[in-house]
Chain A
Amino acid sequence: MVSKELVVSNRAGIHARPAAMIVKVANKFKSNLFMEKEDMKINGKSIMGVITLGAGYKSKILISCEGEDEQDMASAIEKLFNNRFEE
Chain B
Amino acid sequence: MTTCSILELLDIDLKEQNKLQLSCIAGRGGLSNKITSSKISRPGLPLSGYFEAFAGTAVQVFGHGEQRYIDMLAKNGDFKNIAKLFSYDVPCCIFTHSYKPCDKIIEIAENSGTPILQTPLMSSDFSRHLYQLLDEIFAPTKTIHGVLVEVYGIGVLITGDSGVGKSETALELIERGHRLISDDTVKIRNLGSTYLIGSGENPILAHHMEIRGIGIINLANIFGVGAIREKKQIQLMVHLEEWDSTKSYDRVGEDTMTETLLGIQVAKLIIPVKPGRNIPIIIETAARNERLKQLGYYSAKEFDQNVLKWFESEAARKMYYINEENT
Can you give 18 A-B contacts (C-beta < 8 A)? A27-B162, A27-B163, A42-B145, A42-B185, A43-B162, A43-B184, A45-B162, A45-B163, A46-B162, A47-B184, A47-B210, A48-B183, A48-B184, A48-B205, A48-B210, A48-B216, A51-B205, A52-B202
A48:B208 contact, CB within 8 angstroms? yes
9 nearest A-B pairs in the assembled complex, by CB-CB distance? A48-B184, A45-B162, A43-B145, A47-B210, A52-B185, A52-B201, A49-B184, A48-B210, A46-B184
B29 to chain A, nearest CB (A): 28
Residues of A within 8 Å of B145, CB to CB, are 42-43, 46, 49
Instruction: Check if B209 is an interface residue, CB within 8 A of chain A.
Output: yes
A46:B143 contact, CB within 8 angstroms? no
A42 to B144, CA, bound (A): 7
Interface residues of A (CB under 8 A from B): 16, 27, 39-43, 45-49, 51-52, 54
Given A47-B210, A52-B185, 4 new contacts (CB under 8 A): A40-B143, A48-B205, A48-B208, A49-B184
B150 to chain A, nearest CB (A): 19
Residues of B within 8 Å of A47, CB to CB, are 184, 210, 216
Residues of B within 8 Å of A51, CB to CB, are 205
Which size bracket describes the interface of B in this complex? 10 to 19
Residues of B within 8 Å of A45, CB to CB, are 162-163
A41:B183 contact, CB within 8 angstroms? no
A66 to B285, CA, bound (A): 35
Q: Which single member of A39, A46, A54 contacts B210 (CB below 8 Å)?
A: A46
Given A16-B216, A42-B185, A46-B184, A52 and B205 contact (CB-CB distance below 8 Å): yes
A52 to B183, CA, bound (A): 11
Residues of B within 8 Å of A16, CB to CB, are 216
- Residues of B167-203 at the interface with A, using a CB-CB cut-off of 8 Å, are 183-185, 201-202
Residues of B within 8 Å of A39, CB to CB, are 141
Residues of A within 8 Å of B201, CB to CB, are 40, 52
Residues of A within 8 Å of B202, CB to CB, are 52, 54
B163:A48 contact, CB within 8 angstroms? no
Residues of A within 8 Å of B162, CB to CB, are 27, 43, 45-46
A80 to B142, CA, bound (A): 28
A48:B143 contact, CB within 8 angstroms? no
Residues of A within 8 Å of B184, CB to CB, are 42-43, 46-49, 52
B160 to chain A, nearest CB (A): 11
Residues of A within 8 Å of B208, CB to CB, are 48
Residues of B within 8 Å of A43, CB to CB, are 145, 162, 184
Residues of B within 8 Å of A46, CB to CB, are 145, 162, 184, 210
A16 to B204, CA, bound (A): 14
Residues of A within 8 Å of B209, CB to CB, are 48
A36 to B141, CA, bound (A): 15
Cβ proximity bits B195-228 to A, threshold 8 Å, 1 near / 0 not: 0000001100100111000001000000000000
